[in-house]
Structure 1
Amino acid sequence: MKWVHWYVPVTNRATGRYAIGVAVSDSPTGPFRDALGHPLVENNEIDPTVFIDDDGQAYLYWGNPNLWYLKLNSDMTSYSGGPARIPLTTAGFGTRDGDPNRPTLFEEGPWVYKRNGLYYLVFAAKCCSEFIAYSTAPGPTGPWTYRGTIMPTQGSSFTNHPGVIDFNGGSYFFYHNGALPGGGGFTRSVAVEKFDYSADGGFPTINMTAAGAPQAGTLNPYVRQEAETIAWGSGIETEPSGEGGMNVGWIENGDWIKVKGAAFGSGAASFTARVASAGSGGTIELRLDGSTGRVVGSCQVPVTGGWQSWTSVSCSVNGATGTRDLYLRFTGGSGYLFNVNWWQFNAAA
């Protein structure tokens, strides 16, 4: 079996020190379990990231205030040798002003990857508030050369950690902020922007936006879609489902889900949803282009006798054509109404 590994900063209750733990699962969505029953490595520093090089060698990087790495064994839960400290030089990680104890910009949250033969180390810089900077190297352990700022200090969170991937021919920069209602330094939300590298592999300046990355492709509403497939939402939460996976729950009157770019084509004839209710039941309103947009269908949800007592409900649909933003708006009485596990449209003949 191939395991999914999740490396996390933890506090060792026995010592009170920060450590790096590793959990495993047979699915990227969990459930995860502690792989070792003890920390993988402990030196009172945080923020792990893992990079696997072309030769199959895996590296674990972490650190605040220092920057560390070790070589993971093929089991990904043990390592050879001991932790090694990467020298934090101003040539490698930039110059921090005003703090003789932290001469470089490196703060925490390293993210390491390789692209076109060049190794990148993207990191949170100069607390507080942090910005995102990066360095590059010819090898996975250096020597590193500071390349500059990616995302300047901005937003309502004093901390900001990065992630960078290439996907379907595009490059994407992940970060966190406090942009959601009630957000801040310890109530963060994840965001993503699409970007293009320069000819020499450098980053452009990337700013936080409310729009985020463009949609990579349209969504097919004629195949089963999990209810937690959400571009945006209001009021709802997710929880483990008794039928496997997750479901959307804690639904109250007026809550809604936005599903972006649903490709209805020539039109939908009906809609089916998997629902459960130990509350009063209610209605799923199918609206286009806004939470108060035109209603193209309305499905009644009965009381099923339990929050995990699932049944399927269907209703007719009229006017859902082309590629549109779909809103599932939930209405009913007071309190929690019902749960939704999945949904699917059926095309008109």
Structure 2
Amino acid sequence: MTINRWAIDINRDSLTDARIVEELETDLPEGAVEVAVDLYAMTANNITYAVFGKPMGLFGNDQGYWDFFAERDAPGRLPVWGFATVTRSHHEAVPVGTQLYGFFPMASHAVLLPGHAGPQGFTDASQRRTTLPVIYNQYQRIDALDDYAAADHDYWPVFRPLFLTGWLIADQFEDEAGYGAEQILVASASSKTAIGLAHALVQRDARPQVIGLTSLANITYVESLGLYDRVIAYDAISTLDATVPAALVDMAGNAAVTAAVHNHFGDVLRASVVVGKSHWDSVPDATTLPGPARQGFFAPGRSEKRVADWGAESFRSRIEAAWTSFVSLAPKLVSIDKRKGPEAALEAYLETLAGKADPRIGLLIAP
């Protein structure tokens, strides 16, 4: 299919029902800008966005991830992280040619409505986004990012948002004195968010043992990362010492793994933190699990707390320092697979949805 302007529409009620649609150029509203999406990453995290696309109260106001780029009566447009360039502008502070990093739809183009525009970037002020988390609505000018380097360009969409989530999880554990756990079990240890969490944890002076839980097929890869104290396969969870207080961080929402950990540790499990739901078709265990109630982790909420605690500038500088210490490792952690065009974008989405994505690969789409 040779089309210059396209998007991928997804059935909100059936995630496998996705199709490429041609987009026509329309008049640009006053004060708006249009961007051409240059590059974005497709990861398991995007599948979590799709699963939580419909309103579930995640944002405290009965909205979901589909609300960022589509109205309620339209097909879903999946949010992705990446880079874009302004191609048309009706905003004097955001001229044509401005390069941005942020949240975009899985499409070749997007229309944004800059608010509070300045040298660092702007916040999208579209009506449907005004009650959504600020962190998702911020667009940063690439030339204003202190921790950006051209050599790391391809690793930003792959790792930057997921590293931030991992870092924030580690920060919450430190804030909660590790929930009293002496070992942290990280399920889906090969995921990009888990890698960010493990890296953040091992930087801390006093920390519990960090144990990566993964599939048998990914054992060798996860061990090669050098970020976990131990790596074990899911079917070996019963070999862990159930007398040592533990905490579970669940990146993927695999019901069988969750049940295995809860049943093995029981009340010795001090916390069970749910981060993602890339195992979207995993059926939850209908029985009540022993141990603590599961608690969700929402990165924007944690970010807002730390901005309130530390101030925006201190929060930003801490993240920049942490990212700079991590990004040099990125080329050793994944190989980049860059694909081009709408068919490649659709294929990458369906591949990731089906759980076929290789954790050793950083999958990028150049629309």
The TM-score range, normalised by the shorter chain, is: under 0.3
The structure that is helix-richer by fraction is 2
Q: Which has the higher contact order (CA 8 A, sep 6+)?
A: 2
- Higher Rg: 1
TM-score, with length taken from structure 1: 0.28
